[in-house]
Structures are given as structure tokens and as C-alpha cells.
């Protein structure tokens, strides 16, 4: 039952927002009593924390699977992007804005985990891209990895990129192109052009 509650909570939080969804809403969707939820989670803060951690581990496992499939470095980035889009409600900014605003401790913990995971993945991606001649040899790998994370999280700031003017999927694709063009060789740019058309 605990796993079922986490799954439903994640689904509802991503669709409606962490603040908007109540324990009553989750209980009603599952057809159970609120008391049943409280048998597994003491309060909403605990459920939000557990659900974000559960989602993080599932996303991390999915990313690991993609990196083991043998894609070239550039296509790997686009494959991960598509996976995140599919599993994070098109990466809507609203739920995570609510998480940051109303559950700041959970948000800070999640952001630290996201950085650790993304930083490690990007460093591996950069090494692979350099080895295959897709990225320039002279790039500062640690710096590029950190700038990538900063940019990817920054474009989700609704104060800087308001949703009525910037559609998140379009902005993310533009950011990936911006990132790769900054570090790619001619060979890499050819693959980027194909990936932009494909994805």
C-alpha cells in the first residue's frame, strides 16, 4: 500500500502541484481512508519528502539505463531529455515552484541530489564526447558540467521565463542546442543537427 500511495501522490503532485494536492485528495483518488495514508506517513510533509525521494530514485535509475545503451554523447543528452519530459509531466515548472515555496527543506535536499546526479552524468558524457571527437578537447569539464546544471535549472525559473511567454519544452530544446554548440566539434555539430530534427 505504501508504494501505491507514493505512486499516486507523485502522479497528482506532478499534475496539480505539491501545495494544491491534499491528503484527502490522494485518499479519494485511491478509494481509501485518509487514516490509511497516515498509517504510512505521519503528515503531508513526510509524504512530500518520501514522494520526491521515490521519484528521484526512479528517474536516476532511468537515466542510468539510458547511459548504458551506448548512444553517442549528443544523442544521449536528447534521450535523457525525452525521458525526463515523459516522466516529469513535461517538466512543468509549477509543481517544483510550489515545492520550493511551500516545502523548502525538501526542495533543498532534492536539488542537492539532482546536482550530484546530473554533475556525475554530465562529466561522464563530456569525457565520452571528447573521446569520440564530438566535443572539443580544450573544454573545462567540471565547469561545463556545473554550467549545464545551472542553465537547465535556471530556465525553469518562472520569474525569468514566464510560462505565458516561454513554453518549457521549446526553451529546454533551445538550451540543449545552446549548450552543445558551445562545446561541439564540426563532427559533433553534424550529429546535433540530426538530433534536433529527430527529437
Give me the residue spans of the domains in the chain: 45-198
DSSP H stretches of helix in the chain? 2-16, 23-30, 34-38, 44-67, 73-87, 93-102, 104-131, 141-154, 168-183, 186-198
DSSP states along 34-84: HHHHHTT-SSHHHHHHHHHHHHHHHHHHHHHHHHTS---HHHHHHHHHHHH
Reading the block at residue 39, the C-alpha cell is 498509517
Reading the block at residue 77, the C-alpha cell is 543528452
The SS3 assignment for 137 reads: coil
Q: What is the mean pLDDT of residues 47-59?
A: 96
**What gap in Å lies between CA 41 and CA 191, rounded to an integer?**
48
- In this predicted structure, the answer to whether residue 91 has a pLDDT above a threshold of 70 is no
Task: Give residue 93's pLDDT.
Answer: 60
Q: Are the CB atoms for 122 and 148 separated by under 8 Å?
A: yes
CATH class of 45-198: mainly alpha
Helix 23-30 to helix 44-67 angle, to the nearest 10 degrees? 60
55-76 residue pLDDT tens? 999 999 999 999 999 999 999 9
What does each C-alpha distance from 116 to 111, 120, 149 come to in angstroms?
9, 6, 10
127-184 residue pLDDT tens? 999 999 999 999 999 999 999 999 998 998 888 988 889 988 899 999 999 999 999 9
**What gap in Å lies between CA 149 and CA 19, rounded to an integer?**
25
**What gap in Å lies between CA 112 and CA 117, rounded to an integer?**
9
12-42 residue pLDDT tens? 999 998 999 999 999 999 999 999 999 999 9
What band does 90 get if pLDDT is binned at 50, 70 and 90?
low
Task: Give residue 88's pLDDT.
Answer: 83
Task: Give residue 92's pLDDT.
Answer: 60
- In this predicted structure, the answer to whether residue 110 has a pLDDT above a threshold of 90 is yes
Reference 63, options 85, 80, 76, 86; nearest CA is 80
Amino acid at each position: 500500500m505504501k508504494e501505491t500511495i507514493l505512486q499516486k501522490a507523485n502522479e497528482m503532485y506532478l499534475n496539480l502541484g505539491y501545495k494544491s494536492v491534499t491528503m484527502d485528495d490522494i485518499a479519494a483518488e485511491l478509494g481509501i481512508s485518509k487514516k490509511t495514508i497516515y498509517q504510512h506517513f505521519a503528515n503531508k510533509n513526510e509524504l512530500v519528502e518520501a514522494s520526491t525521494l521515490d521519484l528521484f530514485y526512479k528517474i536516476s535509475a532511468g537515466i542510468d539505463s539510458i547511459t548504458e545503451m551506448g548512444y553517442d554523447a549528443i544523442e544521449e543528452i536528447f534521450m535523457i531529455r525525452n525521458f525526463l519530459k515523459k516522466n516529469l509531466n513535461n517538466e512543468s515548472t509549477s509543481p517544483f515552484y510550489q515545492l520550493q515555496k511551500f516545502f523548502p527543506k525538501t526542495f533543498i535536499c532534492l536539488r542537492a541530489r539532482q546536482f550530484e546526479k546530473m554533475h556525475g552524468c554530465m562529466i561522464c558524457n563530456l569525457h565520452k564526447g571528447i573521446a569520440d571527437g564530438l566535443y572539443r578537447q580544450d573544454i573545462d569539464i567540471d565547469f561545463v558540467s556545473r554550467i549545464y546544471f545551472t542553465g537547465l535549472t535556471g530556465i525553469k525559473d518562472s520569474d525569468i521565463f514566464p510560462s505565458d511567454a516561454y513554453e518549457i519544452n521549446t526553451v529546454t530544446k533551445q538550451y540543449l542546442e545552446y549548450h552543445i554548440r558551445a562545446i561541439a566539434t564540426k563532427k559533433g555539430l553534424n550529429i546535433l543537427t540530426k538530433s534536433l530534427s529527430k527529437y
